[in-house]
Amino acid sequence: MRQKVAFTDLGLMDYQQAWQYQSSLHERLKEDKKSGAGIIPGHTLIFCEHPPVFTLGKSGSEEHLKLSLEELSSKSIAYHRINRGGDITYHGPGQIVGYPVFDLDYFFHDVHRYVRHLEEAIIQTLQHYSLVGQRIAGYTGVWIRDEKGERKICAIGVHFSRWVSLHGFAFNINTCLDPFQFIVPCGIRDDHKSVTSMEKELGFTINLDEVKELLKYQIADIFSFDYQ
């Protein structure tokens, strides 16, 4: 039976506020599982944007943040250590941040497959704009790769508790890329790898709502669910 998923677009929301919201949904799904009462799972897909913020995953190194806390404050960039996988990344306006809160008991028990599904949704969305998104062996996320090098356009970092997903992806659409110079993005020290956005690749500003709509349905198609 195809699952039903609620969708919500929170718009531009402070990182901590969005974290509290997705955490409340995450805890509710886990509590429903514990009850064993046959409750229909309340899967939710969240889209939002964040004001400028760096987030560092549990396996990341603070050495990958090149600024002091005072310098962060002067640039009006927030900073949070969080419990997702991965290293440090940047969120800011013009970026689609996606937080799927799914109970994988109703999908599949395979973290790698889950990440590949998210990557595939981004790759297929990029195809609508004649951009070729690719995977690179040994790295998560989606990349643009050509004679200019390898440029990450979407970062992915996830966490699971009782097979309920938390965190998700950050897809650069019209994102200002300047703050990435203040970190070692995703902890990758490689002169041939950098960060990009759809706007930078295509040379013009993209309709963010249009990309959201495409991506929303690509995710539903790949995970084989319907929106309620």
- Point out the residues that are catalytic: 186
CA–CA distance, 176 with 179 (Å, rounded to integer):
7
CA–CA distance, 1 with 121 (Å, rounded to integer):
21
CA–CA distance, 156 with 174 (Å, rounded to integer):
18
Q: Specify whether the CB–CB gap between 101 and 165 falls below 8 A.
A: yes
Taking each helix axis from N to C end, the angle separating 111-127 and 208-223, rounded to the nearest 10 degrees, works out to 140
CA–CA distance, 172 with 92 (Å, rounded to integer):
9
Q: Exposure of 96 by Cβ count < 10 A (0-12 exposed, 13-18 middle, 19+ buried)?
A: buried
Q: Specify whether the CB–CB gap between 144 and 131 falls below 8 A.
A: yes
- Taking residue 102's Cβ as centre, other Cβ atoms within 10 Å add up to 24
CA–CA distance, 47 with 137 (Å, rounded to integer):
27
